[in-house]
Amino acid sequence: MAATLVAQITDQLASRLDITSSALDPIVGQAKASPKQPDIAYHPDETKWKARTARRLAEEPSLPQTPLPAGFPKKLESPLVWEAKDWTNASQWEYVLNQDQLKEIDEAVKHSLRR
- Kindly give the confidence (pLDDT) of every residue in the chain, 115 residues in length, as a single tens digit, with 9 standing for 90 and above: 667 766 677 676 666 665 555 555 555 555 666 777 778 888 989 999 999 889 989 998 888 888 889 999 888 889 899 899 999 999 998 999 999 999 999 999 999 999 8
Q: What confidence tens digit (pLDDT) does each residue in 64-90 have? A: 888 889 999 888 889 899 899 999 999
User: In sequence order, which residues have a C-beta less than 8 Å from that of residue 97 and are 6 or more positions away?
Assistant: 105
* Number of neighbours of residue 52 by Cβ within 10 angstroms: 14
Q: Give dist(CA 7, CA 5) in Å, integer.
A: 5
Whole-number CA gyration radius for the chain: 28
The pLDDT value recorded for residue 22 is 53
